[in-house]
Amino acid sequence: MNETVMKTKRKLNVGIIGLGVGEQHIAGYHNHPNCKVVALCDFSEEKYKMAKEKYPGMKVVRDADELLNDPYIDVVSIASYDHYHYEQIIRAIENDKHVFVEKPFCLFEHEAVEIRSKLIKKPYLKMSSNLVLRKSPRFMLLKEMIQEGVFGELFYLEGDYNYGRLHKITDGWRGKMDFYSVVYGGGVHIVDLLMWVTGDTIVEVVSYGNRIVTKDTRFRFNDLNVSLLKFKSNAIAKVSANFGCVFPHFHGLCVYGTRATFINGMEYGMLFDSRNNSGLFKKITEPYPGVHKGALIYSFVDSILSNSQSDVMADDIFNSMSVCFAIEKASTISDKVVVQYV
């Protein structure tokens, strides 16, 4: 399907693969007046039966190829297990379908290179990913304050992806994979958030990991990764992906500038704008996370229909994963790694 056809098409037909978090994509598409979810897929017998009963007006299948090969479908949302993403994205692009994919969009650098190559050959296709922290009202305000100069010059940031759901890696599908990365599965949210709020580029990383928490389980990969990231501006950030923590699911974030400091809390954020105020701070009460899993879909659909930019562009996805690839490599070789952007 060429670009002209996509611009003039009145409604986009959508297929969703994977009905875990993928089921939440349905509402995101239905919020847009110019698209319609027409097909659902999950190979789980339980979820297949659920979808047949709950969504009687939609086509429901168990084989993803039925959606990926269907010429009637213009857009696919890929929310399958991580190790299926690459092949499903490739198939979608080859069949001229736009792609919205859960993170990570692939697991290996050579896969990202191939996906990038496929997209370059079909510039009329759009691809986005569910890096949904960009739509959190609290972090959106933080980005605005940084842009307005409230913080002065940034010099240090801390971001923590505290997963707090240990059973999902010890008992679920993540522990059965040939390779699973807590950086790709969670840390990528923090990496993307830091680059997005700062507008800066990460150029170099050092990284360490361990699996102390899960050492007596079937999970075979690091459940913790901690990295130091160097930005082009010379600012430094610490990022952790902490899947084994005894802690609620939470995105910790601290931003230190020459004029102010921000610390994210569960109930509110704290903005310190003086070194001499005895701990007084301004409460940042914008909601956190305060965002639906399908919040990025509206702008993605708009970008297809009007050939415009979405809230998360393909370049954003490749950039954040390029940093994550460098983090994994650095934790393996215990040395600094220069980020090679795909």
SS (H, E, C) the chain: CCHHHHHHCCCEEEEEECCCHHHHHHHHHHCCCCEEEEEEECCCHHHHHHHHHHCCCCEEECCHHHHHCCCCCCEEEECCCHHHHHHHHHHHHHCCCEEEECCCCCCCHHHHHHHHHHHHHCCCCCEEECCHHHHCHHHHHHHHHHHCCCCCCEEEEEEEEECCCCHHHHCCHHHHCCCCCHHHHHHHHHHHHHHHHHCCCEEEEEEEEECCCCCCCCCCCCCEEEEEEEECCCCEEEEEEECCCCCCCEEEEEEEECCCEEECCCCCEEEECCCCCCCCCEEECCCCCCCCCCCCHHHHHHHHHHCCCCCCCHHHHHHHHHHHHHHHHHHHHCCCEECCCC
Q: Residue 250: pLDDT above 50?
A: yes
Q: Residue 272: pLDDT above 50?
A: yes
Rounded to two decimals, what is the model's pTM?
A: 0.95
Tens digits of per-residue pLDDT, 135-161?
Answer: 999 999 999 999 999 999 999 999 999
For a pLDDT cut of 90, what percent of the chain falls above it? 95
Low-confidence winner among 95-99, 276-280, 321-325 (lowest mean pLDDT)? 276-280
Tell me what pLDDT residue 132 has. Answer: 97
Give the start-to-end residue ranges of the domains of the chain.
3-130+294-308, 133-292+323-338
Q: What is the CATH number of domain 133-292+323-338?
A: 3.30.360.10
Tens digits of per-residue pLDDT, 294-311?
Answer: 999 999 999 999 999 999
Same CATH fold assignment for domains 3-130+294-308 and 133-292+323-338: no
Tell me what pLDDT residue 9 has. Answer: 55
3-130+294-308: what CATH class? Answer: alpha beta
